[in-house]
Amino acid sequence: MLFKNALLLPLSILFGIITFLRNKLYDWKWLTSVSYDEVYIISIGNITVGGTGKTPFVESLLRWLSPKYRVAVLSRGYKRVSKGFRFVDESAYPVEVGDEPYQIKRKFPEVVVAVDVDRVNGIAQIRNAHPDTQIVLLDDAFQYRKIRPNLSILLADYNRPMYLDGMLPGGRLREWMCFAKRADIMVVTKTPPEITPEEKQEIIQRYSRVFGGEIHFATVYYGEPKPLFSNAKSLLTKDIKQCDVLLITGIANPKPFEDYIRKIAASVQMMTFPDHHNFSEKDIFRIIEKWNSIQSANKVLITTEKDAVRLQQMNFPQDIGYFVPVEIFFI
């Protein structure tokens, strides 16, 4: 891995220079940003590519805010096949709007959810159709400098600290860590619940070298398994300890979820796919083939909540699969 990164070092330096100049053009106001007074904009994003828990964090914000305020969520709809602005409604498919916006809308049907690469246009469209909107949550928008949010929340993965990483493509950083200072709040996600005060203080000190705002810690809570389809019988977490699990993941950083399943299962066989992977018929065939090869009377297929919304659109056996919902809790 070190050798590969060494080969990519010139490209990482070039990418770092480009992102540095782009940020400075906004800082110097040579490129302009839009701000809003009539609606409150909250940006949720990261500097590390993928896997910091943005979607569960957005859902947590919705649980807190939507009972009191009229909230909308605006995402770019990563890897969707559609173009331009679109509201996410009951007629949408994950491939059309992106798996994460689809998941959010399904869990919060009363919340306005929309997708648009052009977030300025997206906000205008939301406000035109829903003029009573009070708060807009911008999903994955830390690098979107065309909008100046009222509140910027930066997520950092406990398992992949920014201060031990490098720029793309050799590392996982979208921009230099020094630009974390744009955020108002940093949340270290996926923190082990048993973290010691000494370790928390060490992490705070490391990030405080470039970030002067509040730093909080959040952990992941895995809920009770839910069936992919209604035909499957109910399954409890305590039952998994007797099961041989086929684990299917198509997320950026599956290791924390894999570690959790390995702790509660008798055995685990794993099939990994790229982040936001659109499953094909060939993929389903491979999954079923792997499932049939497991010689156990007590086997179960488990996947993530984000993968579930894509698998549910496929011709998939309706009596074998379960997904595990995720929530964020502050420590």
Domain with residue 37: its CATH number is 3.40.50.300
- The CATH number of whichever domain residue 244 belongs to comes to 3.40.50
pLDDT 10s digits, 91-125: 899 999 999 999 999 999 999 999 999 999 999 99
List Cβ neighbours of 238 (8 Å cut-off, separation of 6 or more): none
pLDDT 10s digits, 126-158: 999 999 999 999 999 999 999 999 999 999 999
Are 90 and 152 in a shared domain? yes
Q: Which of 175, 204, 221 is the last residue of a domain?
A: 221
Strand ranges (E), 91-194: 112-115, 135-139, 151-157, 185-189
> Would you say 129 and 33 are in contact if contact means Cβ atoms under 8 Å apart?
no
List Cβ neighbours of 19 (8 Å cut-off, separation of 6 or more): 167, 174, 175, 176
> Would you say 97 and 51 are in contact if contact means Cβ atoms under 8 Å apart?
no
How many independent structural domains does the chain possess?
2
List Cβ neighbours of 98 (8 Å cut-off, separation of 6 or more): 75, 76, 77, 78, 79, 80, 115, 276
Q: Which of 173, 202, 221 is the last residue of a domain?
A: 221
319 pLDDT tier (thresholds 50, 70, 90): confident
What are the angstrom distances between the C-alpha of 274 and each of 203, 251, 252, 271, 325? 29, 6, 7, 10, 20
Q: Which of 221, 253, 283 is the last residue of a domain?
A: 221
Q: What are phi and psi of 60, to 5 degrees?
A: -65, -45
